[in-house]
Structures are given as structure tokens and as C-alpha cells.
Structure 1
Amino acid sequence: MEPQVDARKRPALPEPVRVGLRVLRGYRPTVARVRALVRSMATSFVVLSTTLWLLPGVTASGLVAMLWLVALVTGVGAVLRPLLLALATALGGLGALAIGVGVQAVVMYVALRLDPEAHVAGFAVAFVAAWVSVALAAIVNWLADAGTDDSFVSEMLRLMNRVRRATDRRQRPTRRWRRRVTTDPPSDDPPADGLLIIQLDGVAAPLLQWAVRAGNLPTVGRWLRSRSHRMTRWHTGLPATTPAAQAGLLHGDVRHVPAYRWYEKATAEHPTGRLVVTSRPRDAADVERRLSTGAGLLRDGGVSISTAFSGDAPTSLLTVSRAGLPGRSTPGYAAFMTSPYGFARAVVLSAGQVLRELHEARRQRRRGVQPRGERRGSYLALRPLASLLNDLNVSLIAEQMARGAPVIFCDFVDYDEVAHHAGPARPEAMAALEALDHTLGILERLAAEAGRRYHIVVLSDHGQSQGATFRQRYGESLAQVVSRLAAPAPDDDRPASAPAARAATSVEAAGRVEEWGRVNTLLTEVAGRGGVTAAATRVAVRSGTDGAVSLGPADREEAATRTDPETVVVASGNLAMIYLTRHPGRLTRERIDAVAPGLVDGLAAHPGIGLVVVDSAAGPVAIGPRGRHRLRDGHVEGEDPLAPYGPRARQDLLRHQTMAHVGDLVVISAVDPSLDEVAAFEELVGCHGGLGGWQTDALLIHPADWPQEGELVGPDAVHRQLLAWLRRLGLRRADDRADDLPAGAGEPDLVPSGAPVPVMVAPADAPAPSAAGSPS
């Protein structure tokens, strides 16, 4: 018997149409919107008058015509923006981005065409006029708000209200009868708790403490001085990189991430060696498969935003391992793109950041500031993206708080990228840090309007250390040094008929790959979809067959490693790993001396290298210019090469040696003890990845009444602390506690328990940092 079809059931509309109609139903006039319209008209009069005066090809004669044009722009914007918002929400991804670029021009063009007293030469002129007016409006609104972001906050609050209404509507009974349903009286129970975890990428704890004392971070300063929050230092260990930190923070396991990038030697299972770069979506996805046990930090309804890994979150936005550009289910993305206080405002601010970069770079050159790096090329081209992502992250967080996500983890990268090129404590880097403090204030205001009672935890993944690069100091790269020293021995594995080379062929992976991660994530998501846009994107960026996009130097460096070099040198800040690629497995000191005599001793004697770590019959040993340190038992011969790197250097190096795919040789640059400056093997004057300086001094700011369970050494320890707080808030499912512990978490400490540990940082009355540790 065939099943009967309900005649009253209407055919389902396509998903984009349903989403768009849902957005339109939630868009209703309010007092706040009317007030915003009145202000918009006043701003538009000033802005449009200036725009028409500046640009040829756009005219409006007389005061009455100008007032009529202002009314038209305001009215057309009020009518078209909800429609464009609905369309952007329905399209998602690249469609929303395209609408965000053109929405201002569409509004301007339609208004000019409707005004009989106005004239516009064409849509191209309207497009230019629209973006000139956007820039002027951003300046006028900034002045009207006394330099605050009140307009932006108001727009985010409207977004939250719209999302909340849509969520409530979906959770109610049948729409036709919802007014007749008897509901229970409002509950007096307090709102459920939520946790908002904000990562300030690259911010060292001593630097933030110094900035608070200087009065430059009013939001964090207020939290600490009022004793609502407490700041703790945590020690990152080795490597001090974002992927390693987030592997530990989100998944509780750092063993699979020995650096920002590394080389995996050929094995029987994988006969071709390969370079792994965690800013490439396909590599990040592969690493997450190794990390994930299904018990990540965000597994219980959490959200990851702008992170390297997902933490097993059901919802991942701008996450590299999942290459997820927000789509139809993310109206916060569409609202950001179409709002005059969202994408357009971010573009204007980003343009201002580029101008500032050019000015500060010129100023450094004229003043002879040292050390300094190049601030041009890809960095300058990608610099606006970090500022744009800052505001987009806020929009995505606001939406997820309105939805009631129990835990949200978001990474803000603006400071880290500026500090890499300008220096960690330089004025422009500190300005980026102040902007992040301002963002924390915005999130605090938005959290107060959320359905949950969100507690805010702020942490960093590592710090940064400053110094002239290895190439700047010595006129050659580390790979060139290795190539000279690694001349193959006569008994090398090569055929006897092959002539001995004067220098080994060496490939270096030290390009600036970190800044390309977000771009590759966005483009990979677009290329992975179906349709003409995805096909065009794949052709334009020459993506792989799986749709993965990898712009920047990573693919070029990987191709170089496939040319059968004798050594591969992979750099992450002032940490470098050297692989002798023609010899399987990790080599011992004895084997390296046999195939490349003089390599280890030559590296250890170089003035730019502080120590070389290599495995041996007695276990791993750190070799310096005038001594050596056996890491397993702590035995020192001559001068201890670990002394300049702090009391935890032995534990850090020994733990690093247990990670997968560590190089045959691990090299750490020399550190200047008087300035805490290091020499990066990448061309970055602010670096992290190795040891020395502030790069291993990360911060954790949390509510003052939350207990801390022991010392925080390593990101996996912070992961366990965050899990404890989630349980305290009732946001973690009552599973067996052992399921949440990372592999190896129960192993004994590699250093005796009496070893010195990081010091707790009091928020207001802690002693000042030493002169050697103060920012210059």
C-alpha cells in the first residue's frame, strides 16, 4: 500500500530562499533603528556634500537637491539593506563578501538615479563615490562617538537581537497557534553560565603587565585592579608556536606538533618525504586527525573561531583545519558584510593601518632603529586582513553568544602579525595591543546582553622575543651554513662512482608562511564548493584536486624538498630543525658524525647558535660552544649551554625530543642575556618558536574566584585547567575524567619537582620587571 501524501503540506522551498525569508521576517523597525536613521541622515548630508565636491562625474544642484539626495540614500539604504542582508545570508561565503563590497555602491547608485536633480556618470563612478563616502562617514562617526565604537556596538546588539528572535521563533510551538499557547511565567532562575575564551595571539605576560601599569589597557587594567580577574603566567615550553599551543589548549596533546612546520622523512608507508606547514588547510586537517580523540575542549556544543584546530567543536568558523568560511547558517557574517558599520568600516580602518605601516617603516629607517625588518610585499598586502578579521571575529562571537553557545574560543592575531615585523614592544605593536584591549571592552558589553551569563577568560598562546635576524647578523642563512658544514663523508651511502661534493645540497624552509594561513582558509572553503564561483577560484589560485589552496611560500618550499637534497633546514622563529633526508629515522650523534663529520661541532661553534640538541647513545644531549648538557640525567661538562635559557630549558628540550618528527638536529639561536634578544632563522625581528626572551611567557586572565589547580607548564596543563573550569560551570558532560586527559598526561615530570616554576603575577602590586626585561 502506497503511503498517503498530506495534501496540506506545501512543497519545501529551496534552503537559500527559506534562510532569506527567515532573515527578512526578523528584520523589523525599532526605536533604535529610527534613531540610527536620523543620525545616518545627518552624517549623510555632511558626507555626501563633501563627496560631490571632491568627485567629478557626480553632481546635485542646490540645497534642496542635496537634502532630497540625503533622504533618498537613507530611504534606499533602509529598504535595500534588509534585502541584501537576506541575499547575503542565503548565499553565504564568497557571495556575502561580494555583496559586502558592492552594497554601498548599489545604494548610492539607486539613490542618484532616483533623484531628478542629481547626475551620475555610471556605476563605476557611483562605486568610487560610495567608498569615498564610506571613508568620510567612518571619520565623522568616529568624531561623533568621541573615538569610541558605539555605532559598531549598536549594530552588533541589533544583530544579537535579530538572532535571538530567530532562535526563539524556531524553538516555539507551531507558528500559527503560538499566541494561544499558555506559557509558564518567567523563571526567576539565573541565566545559564557560558564561557568566552579569547586568545591574544603572541602577547607575552610581562609585556601586558607593563602595558597595564602604563595605563594603556583600560579594560584589562580595570579587571585586574578591581580584583574581578586575576592574571597568571604560564610556561609554553618548546615549541612556542600557535599550532602547538592550540593543539594543547584545544585537544590536550602537543606531541604531534614539534614546530610551526616540520619535515616528515620517507617511510615504508609514505615513501616520499614531505614538508608539513600548519597554515595550510590540508596539513592542518591531517594534523587534527592525529590529535583528535573526540574529547576536545569544545566538543559539548562549543564554537571555534579563527583557530588552527577545532577542539572537536560542532561549529567551526574560519578554522584552518576545517577551512570553513561562514555560510548560510551564520547571519553574523552576512550582517558584518552588509552593514555600513561592519565590512565597509573595517576596510577603511584597514587602509588606515596600511598607511600607518608605511609611515612607521619610513620613520624607523630615518631614525636608524635597530633591529628592524622589511615591512612591504606580502606583509603589507595582507596587513588589512588582520584588522578586518578583528571586527569579523567580534560579529561572529556576538552571533554565537546570541545563540547561547556554551563555550566560544576565538583567536585574535592582529598584535602577533604587527609585532613580527615591527618588534614586540614598538609603538605600532603596542597600538595593536591597545586595540585588542578595546575589543575586549566591546565583547564585555555584548556579553552583558547575551542570554547566558558569559564569563570571559583571556589567554595567549606564546609571547615574542626581539632581535636582528640570523641573516642580518651574519650575512647568510642557516641553510647556507649547514650546506658548508655537511659535506658528505667518503663512506656516504652514495655510489662510490659519484664524486664527492664540496658542499651538501641543502633546502631551507624559512619563508613567512604564518601570515598566509587565513587567506588559504578562506579560499580553500570557496574552492571546495560547487558551482561556477568555486571552479573559477580553483583555476585562479591553481588549487589541488581536493580544492585545498596554498598561497605563499609553503608549496614552493615543499617542491624544493622533493629535489632529493641532502639536508632540509626548517625554521620556526629562533628554533630550527635539520633533517638528513637520505638517512631514515632520527639519527644519533655517532651516525651524524659518520655521514657528515664536522656538522655538529661546526654548528655549536657558530656565534649565532646557542645550542645544538642531538640524540646519542646516552640519550639527547645539548651541545654549546664551550660545554654540553646531558638532558636525561642533567650531567654538565664545561659551561652549561642551557644557562642563558632559564630554569625550564632542560625540561622543555627533553620533552621536545619525545615529539614526533623532530629533526636529527635541533638548533636554538644564541640569546643576548643583557637584552633577552635572539636571532630568528626567519626574517622576523619579533619571533617565537624556540627559547630565550619572553616568547615562552604566556598569560592567563580568569575570574579571581576560580581556583587554579597547580602549576601551568605547557598548553596541555592549561587545557586541563580549562576543563576543570568547564566542569565548575556545568558545561562539561559528566564523562569519565580519564577520557579528557591527553595521552601521556599521567606521566611523571621530566624534571624534579623542586625545579623553579613560573611566578604568579599579581594584578596591581607585583614588583616591577627587571631592567633587562623591560620593553624598550
Structure 2
Amino acid sequence: MFDRLRQRLRAIRRFFNRTFTRGPALLRRMGIPFSPVDPQRRGFVVVQIDGLSYRRMLRAMRHHQLPFLNSLLKSGKFKAHRFYSEVPTSTPAFQGGLFYGSNDNIPGFQFYDKRERYYYRMGYSDCAHRIEQSFQKPGLLKNGSVFSCVFTGGAEAALFVFSTLLAPQRWRFVFRVWDILLLSFLNVLVIAKIGLLVVLEVLLGVYDSLMWFLQRGTIRRELEFIALRVILTIVTRELITLGAVIDIYRRVPVIYLNFLGYDEHSHVRGPDSAVARWTLRGIDRCIERIYKATLFAEREYDFFVLSDHGQCAVLPFEYLTGETLGEYLQTQLDGLLVESHTQKDSRGAQITATLEGLTRLERSMPRLFRRPIRAYIRRMQKKLLKEQAQEDLDVLLDVFVVSSGPVAFAYWTHIERPLTYEEIEQMHPGLTDRLSTHPAIGMISMRTASGDVIVKSRLGRAYLGPYSVRTEGWLPFDRSPNRKRIMEDIRRLTLYPRAGDICFWGAGSPSGNVSYSYELGAHSGWTDDETGAFILVPPHITWDFSSVRHHTQFYDFFRRYTLEEDFAAQEAQRVG
């Protein structure tokens, strides 16, 4: 009886929304196109809070930093699951697995391909685009929208997505000029709110940077950090929230958005810092707006909130030792030229990446805007010629070091195939022993001639085979409750063709948890804070997320929404 009454009230509410509200009804009166996908099919909305671990999520709820999510949990509208986020604990690997069911050969956020002689940094549009083109399975987000992610997942509309950053697909829905003006007028309060929040965030950023300088005596990256706070904490967050709400009203069946603010602020200040926790309040308010929009939508949605990984508090290798990992390797490899990614990430590389993105942007822009973009491209091409004249160093380069947070890779670039432990020892006797006993290196891993992986640390070593493991002494991950999974992940990652000839792991070093980038919060490694992620799901979803072992399992779960049978509706009916 109560179920029938609840369904009747829901139907009345939806009729009222279709007819009178400024949500779906307004868009319909404006002539803005709705999704052609059958509105009777159940959709889903996934909100990702980048970098927030399960443990810190619970603590944020206790400290009233996620009050709306906490209220949903307490009221029984959500269930919380902790799951193991496989190594590498990085967003490209997670979203590759979730969006395309494949994240093999993505060893981190940054890496190098020896065969292609190509340096991948997933924040670059051309690099993310190149990786996305290599996926074989259909994208999870077909007919949907995606906001602020690494890949599009096959979505028809993508905004602030790295793989299409300079060629966004948002205008495929073709809003007319008066549509944009009318929407802007009706959302004048949202625009005013963004303006006020920007001013507030700038003032807070200046104050925070001043206090940081007084405490630490350094202003490294502070101006960049203030800009980052404004862009990610306010502008991007509010725009993707508004975009998601509009697409919910447009009945878009699949919507995925990622809030980056907490993760980025944690990198700079640490995952437990006041500025990182401050961003969670704003994210929580945005999630509330999106969730409430699903209640007034013409399509039934299942709503999910998840994280891709956590973050670990770290100290930079450079801060501890006074030199970068590349500079340290240079002292150990006499006669060889070692270059780190900070040098490789030169102005010439940046200009090349920008030119490729601008070329794609120019092709997708209306004709009116193409001429000034072409003029800017010609100007950039002239600059590139000057830079390339000074960048012939690659021909002489012997070893290239790439950092991906607490995991770093060293590549011997003149040998196209991956090197083995035995070959490295033959070329540089005693090198691996010196590296594994360094006070700011937790352990190193390498391929062996037999096809297995060897792990060496200050106090022990391990031989990781496909069916057996042999350990000697003590290793940094021995006390972890996920020890077996960690060894499997280290073996898998080390054997990736794009992983380094030597893989460096900073966690568990004698100096504490170490990052090979200059940051105070990091991920990509194996610590419990990094692998302990979460997902909040509606109560009628009975799938056991705590059993997740690989990111690709999320792809298998969410793909059920796109099958002929409506999996989510069946689940709801069965449980109800």
C-alpha cells in the first residue's frame, strides 16, 4: 500500500516538474533538445571526488565537512562500501578501467614509451587523446555527458576533459545565442555566487600563501596554487555542476563528473591540510544540487558517489636530499647523460603539445573564430623552431627519469626493449644495491630474465612469479593487510611495457613516505591510504563493491545499464 502511494506521489511530482518548473519545462519551452534515449530506461549519475580515501571520507563526515553525504548515509538513502583501488592508484588508470574496461600499460600519470620514444603526461591533451584512441572496447558513457575527467568514455558531450581539452564537444547540442543569454539571465544568482566565491577564494589564497611563507620560508608554486584554487575550487566546480544539472533535466541517460579540487589541493598542502578539507564543503554542496536535480528529472536515475583512490602524506625526495632523483642517478651513472621529466617538460615540449591541441580546436570551431586561431598557430610554430634548435639533447640522452608521485621510472632510452635486472647489473655493477639502500627510497622493482619481477629494499628482497612468491628479509609492504594484492600489483605494473627499466617506490623508506615529485600529498603507490577508496550507492543496489579487485570491474557493473534488459530497474523491483 505504502509503495503504491509512494509511486503515485512520485508520478504527480514528475508531472508537475514537466509542466511548470524552470528545469525540464523551461528547457522544453526554449526548444533545447532532449536526449533521444528512451526516458523509461533507467540512467545513472556518477560523481567522483578525486583523491579522497575511505578513511578521510568518514573523518570528513564526522567533522561536518560532508554534511549532505553524511545525512544521506544516516537516512539510509546511501550505503557506503570500501574497495581496494589497484596500483597504480592514479586517475588515468582508474578511468581507463571504468570507462573502457582496460587500463593495461598505464603505469601512472606520467611515463615514457621507449618504442615510440614518446613522453606521456596525462594532463596534456595530446597524450590523453593518444591513449584514449588505443582503447578497444566501447566507451561506457555512450549517449552521455562527462565533465572534468581524463578521458571521454565515448560521451557525446565532454567539458574540461583532458583528451579533448582544446577541442571540447560541448557545443554538439548547439545552444542558440538567445538560449545562452536566457539561461545566463535565469542563473544570474549562480553567476553572482561564482563571482563572490572567486573573490573570497583569492583572499583566502593570499592569506594562506602568506602564512605558508611565514611557516616554511618558501613561496614555491604559491602564485600557481592561488590560480589553481580559483579555477578548480570555484569556476570549474560550479560550471560542471551547472552542466550536470542541465543534462539531468535534458534526460541524458549517463552522466559522469569529477571534482578535482580536493586532490589538487592535497598535492600542494597535504591530504589533511585545512585548505584540502575546505574544498570538501563546496563539493558537498554541489553534490546536493546534482542529487536534488535527479529527484525532479523526467528520467529515473541511480546516483553514485565514489573516489578513484586516496592520498598519502609524503615528503619530497628533493626536500629530503637536496637533489632530484634524476640528479642523484646522474652521480651514480658516470659517463651517462641522465635527464629527468622536469627537464624534459621543456618549453619546446609544451609548445608542441599546445600546437597539436590548437590544430584540433581550429578544425572544430565555427568559421568566424578560425582565422585568429590560425594566426596564433603560425606564431607558435615560429617559436617552436627556435626552441627545437636548442633541444637536440634527446639524441644524446642515455637515461630518462619520470616521476609519478611516490612511483618513479628510469628508462635506458637507447635500448628500445625493456631491460632486465641481470642486464642492468652487468652494465652497472652494484647500482641496484646502492639504489635500494638509499634512505629516501623504499624499494625498487625490475624485470628478470626469467620473466618474473625482483623487488629489492634496504632490508630484504622478493621474487614475484605468476604462481609463486619468494621473500627474504623485510619489505616495506609486509605490515599491510593487503600484502598479497600489493605484490600482485607491483608485479603487474613492473611488467608493463611502458614501465621503467627500474621502478622506484617511495613509500616505506627510512625517511618515511617519499614522493619523487615536489608535493606534500601523493598517490600512485601501494599504501593503505592510497588504495583505500570508497563508493556510495543507493540501497537497492546489492552488488558487492567491497569485492572489487580491478578497476575494470566497475566497467562490467555499469555496462549493465546499457544492455537491453534494464538491470537497475530489475534490481530495484527485486529488492523492493
TM-score (norm 2): 0.82
Q: What amino acid does structure 1 have at the position aligned with 2:538?
A: P
Q: Name the residue aligned to 1:358.
A: 206
Distance 1:360 1:423 in 2: 14
Return closer, same or farther for 1:454/1:580 CA change in 2, 3 Å cut-off.
same
Amino acid of the residue matched to residue 164 of structure 2?
R
Q: Tell me, what secondary structure is at the counterpart of 2:304?
A: strand
Contact 1:336 / 1:395 at 8 angstroms: preserved in 2? no
Any unmatched runs of 5+ in structure 1?
1-156, 173-188, 488-500, 733-776
Q: Aligned partners of 1:428 and 1:401: how far apart in 2?
A: 31
Give the SS at the match of 1:234: strand
Matched, 1:194 2:43: yes
The partner residue of 1:630 within 463, 472, 477 is 463
The residue aligned with 1:679 is 514
Match of 1:423 in 2: 270
Mark the CA change 1:227 to 1:641 in structure 2 (over 3 Å): closer, same or farther: same
| 1:361-406 Cα shifts (integer Å, max 9, x gaps) | 322444569xx98441333334322120111101211221121111
Q: Is the 8 A contact 1:194 1:729 kept in 2?
A: no
Match of 1:296 among 103, 125, 139: 139
Write the distance in 1 (CA, Å) between the matches of 2:499 and 2:423. Answer: 16
**Change beyond 3 A, Cα 1:636–1:168:** closer
Summarize deviations over 1:171-226 as a string: whole Å, max 9, x none: 99xxxxxxxxxxxxxxxx99642211111111111100111123331111011111
Given that 2:506 and 2:513 are in contact with CA atoms closer than 8 Å, whether structure 1 keeps it comes out as: yes
Query: What is the aligned counterpart of 2:531 among 696, 710, 716?
Result: 696
Cα shift at 1:522? 9.0
* Structure 2 CA distance for aligned equivalents of residues 343 and 537 of structure 1: 28
Deviations 1:686-733 (A, max 9, x none): 11112225122211111122112461122112222323466598279x
Measured in 1, the distance between the counterparts of 2:433 and 2:197 equals 51
What do residues 538-568 of structure 1 show as CA deviations (whole Å, max 9, x unaligned)? 55477978xxx99xxxx99x96873431111
Whether 2:282 is the aligned partner of 1:435: answer yes
2:415 aligned partner: 583
Once the two structures are overlaid, the 10-residue window that deviates more, 305-314 or 248-257, is 305-314
- How much does 1:410 deviate? 1.0
Q: Report the Cα distance in structure 2 between the residues aligned to 1:581 and 1:533, rounded to whole angstroms.
A: 42
Greater radius of gyration (CA) = 1
Quickly say closer, same or farther: Cα 1:598–1:540, change in 2 above 3 A: farther
1:712 to 543, 548, 559: 548
Cα distance change of structure 1 residues 539 and 638 upon mapping to structure 2, 3 Å threshold:
farther
Aligned 8 A contact 2:310 2:533 in 1: yes
Q: Which residue pairs with 1:615 in the alignment?
A: 447
Give deviations 1:573-617, integer Å, cap 9, x for gaps. Answer: 111011011112110011111223332222101011111000113
Say if 2:478 is the partner of 1:478: no
SS of the residue corresponding to residue 695 of structure 1 reads helix
Q: Is the 8 A contact 1:373 1:683 kept in 2?
A: no
Letter in 1 for 2:292: R
Q: What's the counterpart of residue 232 of structure 1? A: 81
Q: 1:190 to 1:404 in 2, by over 3 A?
A: closer
The letter of the residue matching 1:718 is F
Please give the residue correspondences for 1:132-531 in structure 2 after superposition, counting only pairs within 5 Å: 158=22, 160-166=24-30, 192-266=41-115, 270=116, 273-293=117-137, 295-299=138-142, 301-323=143-165, 324-325=167-168, 326-327=170-171, 329=173, 331=175, 339-367=187-215, 374-386=220-232, 387-487=234-334, 501=335, 504-510=336-342, 526-528=361-363, 529=365, 531=367
- Does structure 2 retain, via aligned residues, the 8 Å contact 1:406–1:731? no
Paired amino acid for 1:621: I
One-letter amino acid matched to 1:450? A
In structure 2, how many angstroms separate the alpha carbons of the residues matched to 1:715 and 1:218?
28
Structure 1 residues 292, 383: CA separation in 2 closer, same or farther (over 3 Å shift)? Answer: farther
Relative contact order (C-alpha < 8 Å, sep 6+): which is higher? 2
Q: 1:192 to 1:588 in 2, by over 3 A?
A: closer
State the shift of 1:164 in Å: 3.1
**Aligned residue number for residue 405 of structure 2:** 573
Indicate if the aligned counterparts of 2:397 and 2:413 stay in contact, CA closer than 8 A.
yes
Q: Distance in 1 between matches of 2:509 and 2:443?
A: 13
**Counterparts of 2:183 and 2:331, CA distance in 1:** 53
SS at match of 1:424: coil
Per-residue CA distance 1:657-693 (angstroms, 9 max, x = gap): 34331110111014279x9x62111111111112225
Query: Which of 529-538 and 584-593 deviates more?
Result: 529-538
Q: 2:4 maps to what in 1?
A: none
Q: State the shift of 1:358 in Å.
A: 2.1
Q: Distance in 1 between matches of 2:171 and 2:362?
A: 14
Which deviations, in whole Å up to 9, do the C-alpha atoms of 1:92-113 show, x marking residues without a partner? xxxxxxxxxxxxxxxxxxxxxx
* Mapped pair 1:666 → 2:503: yes
2:529 is paired with a residue of what secondary structure?
coil
Q: What is the CA-CA distance between 1:262 and the residue it aligns to?
A: 1.0
Report the secondary structure of 1:602's partner residue.
helix
> What is the number of residues matched between the two proteins?
523
Change (3 A) 1:171 1:713: closer
The sequence identity of aligned pairs, in percent, is 23
Question: CA 1:165–1:361 in structure 2 vs 1: closer, same or farther (change >3 Å)?
Answer: same
* Cα distance, 1:238 vs structure 2: 1.5
Any unmatched runs of 5+ in structure 2? Answer: 1-20, 569-576
**Which residue number corresponds to residue 5 of structure 2?**
none
Q: State how far apart, in whole Å, the 1-side matches of 2:343 and 2:565 are.
A: 43
Q: Aligned partners of 1:203 and 1:682: how far apart in 2?
A: 19
1: distance between equivalents of 2:373 and 2:139?
Answer: 33
Q: Does 1:721 align with 2:564?
A: no
**TM-score computed with the length of structure 1 as normaliser:** 0.62
**CA distance 1:333–1:575, change in 2 (3 Å):** farther
1:649, CA displacement in angstroms? 1.5
User: CA offsets, 1:240-280, max 9 Å, x none?
Assistant: 111111101111101031111111114xxx5xx12111122
Whether contact under 8 Å (2:35, 2:253) holds in the other structure is no
- What amino acid maps onto 1:377 in structure 2? L
In the alignment, is residue 657 of structure 1 matched against residue 494 of structure 2?
yes
Amino acid of the residue matched to residue 100 of structure 2? H
Distance in 1 (alpha carbons) for counterparts of 2:329 and 2:104: 27
> Residues 534, 366 of structure 1: CA spacing in aligned structure 2 closer, same or farther, 3 A cutoff?
same
Alignment RMSD (CA, Å): 3.5
